[in-house]
Structure 1
Amino acid sequence: MRRCGYRLLMLAMSILCALPAWGACSTSSTSDSFGSVPSTRTDQAYQTRASGGLRCTGASLQFLDVSLVRATITGTTHDFGLVNAAGDRIPYRIYADAAFNDQLVANAQYDFIGLYALNLGGLFGGPDNSVPLYARTQPTRMLSAGVYRDVINIRWDYSVCTRVSLLGVCVGGREQDVVMVAVELTITITPDCLINAPDVRFGAAPLVSGFSEINQSLSLFCTRGSSFQVGLSQGSHPQSGERHMASSSGELLRYRILKPDGTPWRDVGSGQARSHLDADRNPGPGLGGAPGTGGDAQGFDYRAVIDADQTTPSPGVYTDQVVVTVQF
C-alpha cells in the first residue's frame, strides 16, 4: 500500500509539471496622454504611464520564459519635446521604471530583463499587458494653449517562449522578432488667467457726498496668445440694474464701477465687458507668465464711485462682492 501511494503522488506531480502556460506577443503603435493642464500651472512636472507598444498576453504571464526584451529609442519627432501648432515646446523625459530612475535616451539600448529579473510578471504590467514606459514633463512657462504632441520611435528586440511548463521549462516554440513601433504622447494646455483684483475701500464719511472716487486697476496674467473678455458681475445686491452695498440691517448704498471713458463696466455677455484689446496696459492677446516668474501683466483701470444723488442711509458698514469673470 505504501508503494502504491508513492506512485500516485509521482503521477500527480508529473501531471502538474506538464501543464503548460501559453502566451503570445504582438506590437502596435500607441497613444497616451498627460491629460489637460491649465496654462498657469505648467511650472510643475506632470507624469504618465504609457504603453511601450510591445505586449504579451496569456493566462500565466508570470511563467513565461522571456530571454530577451530590449528597447532602443531611435529618435522622436521633436527631440523629446511636446510641441503644439504654434511651435511652443514642453521638454520631457522617458523612463523604464515608475521611480523615474532609469532614463531612456536616444540610440541607447535598454535591457528590460534586468529591471524585472525578480518579477517577470511586472515586465508586461503596462496598459493591455504591455511593457510600461514612464514619461515626465519638465516645468515650462509662457505657453500658448493647444494640444502638444511628440512621437517616440522605438525598436524592440525580444525573444519569448510561448509555451512554458509550470516549472519554467520551455516546451513550445519561441517567438522572437525585431520591430519598430511609434508611441505618441500628448498633453493639452487649456487657457487660463491669474487675476489680481484688490478690494475697493471707500473709507468713512457722514454723508454720501463725502466719499471720494477710487481709482484702481485689475491685473491679468492670461495664456500667451489668448483672446478674452473681462467682466464684472452686478454684485450681491443689484437693484434696478445698479450695484449696491448692503449693511447688516439690509439698507442699501448705490455705487458704480466705471471704465476710464466713464461707461459702466459690467459682466460678460452684457455688451459692456472689456476685451483683451481694451487693456489700459499691454493691450492685445494674453502675454503668459505669472507674478514674479516673467511675463507682463495686462492692466484694466476703473473708477469706483458712490452716487451722491441718493439719500444717506443709516450709519454702519456697507459691503458688496463683485466677481471678476474672464471668458476665452
Structure 2
Amino acid sequence: MLASGLASQAHALCRTAATTPADFGSISSILAATTVQSTSTPNAGLHCTGSLLSLLTPTDHFYATVSSTTSGLVGPTGDVLTYNIYATNSTAAAYLINRGSRYDFARNNIIDLLGLLADATSKTIPIYFGTITGNNVAAGVYSETLSILWEWNYCAGYNNQGTCIGRDDSSGTVTLTVSMTVNNDCTVSAPNISFGDAPAVVAFSTVNQSISISCTRGSPYTVGLDAGQNANAGRRRMVSGSNFLSYDIFKSAGTTVWGSVGSARRSSSDAEVNPGNGFGSGRSQVFNYNAKVYTDQPAPAAGSYLDNVILDIGF
C-alpha cells in the first residue's frame, strides 16, 4: 500500500500544445535593415500542467529542435528576412537556438527561472526572436512556419528516501508561425538652396543641386515639392517682412517646374542616378534640379528672404 501511494506521485506533467504566434509587428524597411527588431511568443508549444517535484539533474532534459523549410521570414517577392532564435530574452551566445540542433532548456537555469520547478501553476515555455541587421527587403508581409520538436525526460517525483519513483519521458512536435509586416520607407538628403547675395534680381546665379533618396527595395515612387509658404500666381516666393522675391525650382537642368501634383512630380524612374524602383538601404537615387530667381520682377527692398518647401514621397 505504501509503495502504491508513493508511485502515484510520478505522473506525466508536460505535454505539447498549440502555440501562440510571434509577430514583429509593422516595421519600416529602413528599420528592418538597420535596427534589430525583437518579439517573442509566450507559448512555444510545451505545456507543463503541474509541479516538477525536483531540481533538475544532469540526466534531466528539455530539448527543443527548431527546423523549417526556409531560412527566415519569406516575403511576397521571395525576399528572406533573417532572424535569430533565443531561449530567453538575452541575446548571449549561451541562449542562441541554432536551427536543426537540439537546445536543452534544462541547462543554464532556464527551466528554474521560468518557475516550472516546485510550482503547481500551469506554465508554458516562451521563445524569443531578434532580427539580424542588413535585411534589405521589399515591402510586404513576411512569415515563416517553424517546426519545434520537444523532447523531455526528467524525474517527475521522489519518495521520502530521495529515490526517483517515475520519469516523465515523452516528445511531441508543434508548429509556430513568426511574422512581420515591412512598410515602405525612405531616407532623404536634401540640401538647402542658397542664392547668396546680389544687388539686383538679374544678378542672382542659378543654383544647380541634387536630392538623394533611398527607398524600399523594389518599390516605385514619386517625389513632389510643394509650392512653399508664400506662392502666388503660380510662382514660389521668398519673403522678407512684407516684401517678396519670386523664384522657382525646376526639374533637372530644364525649365519645367518641379511641383507636387500629377505630372509635376518626379518618378523614381526619372532619377538621373540609379533610375527605376527603389534599391533599399545603402543605394541612393539622385534627382538633379536647378533653382532660379525670376528676372522679370521688380527689385524688392534689400533684406534676407526665406521660404520653406516641403518634399514628399508617394508610393
Q: Which amino acid aligns with 1:311?
A: P
Whether 2:25 is the aligned partner of 1:32: answer no
Whether 2:127 is the aligned partner of 1:133: answer yes
Contact 1:228–1:275 at 8 Å: present in 2 too? yes
- 1:175 Cα deviation from its structure 2 partner: 7.5
Which of 139, 145, 157 is the equivalent residue of 2:139? 145
Whether 2:264 is the aligned partner of 1:272: answer yes
Whether 2:206 is the aligned partner of 1:213: answer yes
Contact 2:187–2:213 at 8 Å: present in 1 too? yes
- 1:254 Cα deviation from its structure 2 partner: 0.9
In 2, distance between residues paired with 1:118 and 1:282? 55
Whether 2:275 is the aligned partner of 1:283: answer yes
Q: Which amino acid aligns with 1:281?
A: V
- 1:117 Cα deviation from its structure 2 partner: 5.0
In 2, distance between residues paired with 1:134 and 1:122? 18
Q: Which amino acid aligns with 2:45?
A: G
In the TM superposition, 1:192-207 aligns within 5 A as: 192-207=185-200
SS state of the match for residue 277, structure 1? helix
Contact 2:48–2:116 at 8 Å: present in 1 too? no
The equivalent of 1:318 in structure 2 is: 305
Which of 128-137 and 91-100 deviates more?
A: 128-137
- 1:161 Cα deviation from its structure 2 partner: 10
Distance 1:210 1:83, change over 3 A: same
Whether 2:237 is the aligned partner of 1:237: answer no
Deviations 1:184-242 (A, max 9, x none): 11122211111111111111111111112112111111111111010001112222332
Structure 1 segments unaligned to the other structure (5+ residues): 1-22
Q: Percent identical across equivalent pairs?
A: 34
Q: Which amino acid aligns with 2:89?
A: A
The equivalent of 1:227 in structure 2 is: 220
Which of 308-317 and 101-110 deviates more?
A: 101-110
Deviations 1:7-35 (A, max 9, x none): xxxxxxxxxxxxxxxx8855014321122
The equivalent of 2:286 in structure 1 is: 299
- 1:108 Cα deviation from its structure 2 partner: 3.0
In 1, distance between residues paired with 2:100 and 2:87? 15
SS state of the match for residue 149, structure 2? strand
- 1:56 Cα deviation from its structure 2 partner: 4.1
In 1, distance between residues paired with 2:266 and 2:152? 61
Q: How many pairs are equivalent?
A: 287
Q: Give TM-score, length-normalised by structure 2.
A: 0.80
**Runs ≥4 in structure 1, deviation > 4 angstroms?**
23-26, 66-69, 158-162, 173-177
Whether 2:46 is the aligned partner of 1:54: answer yes
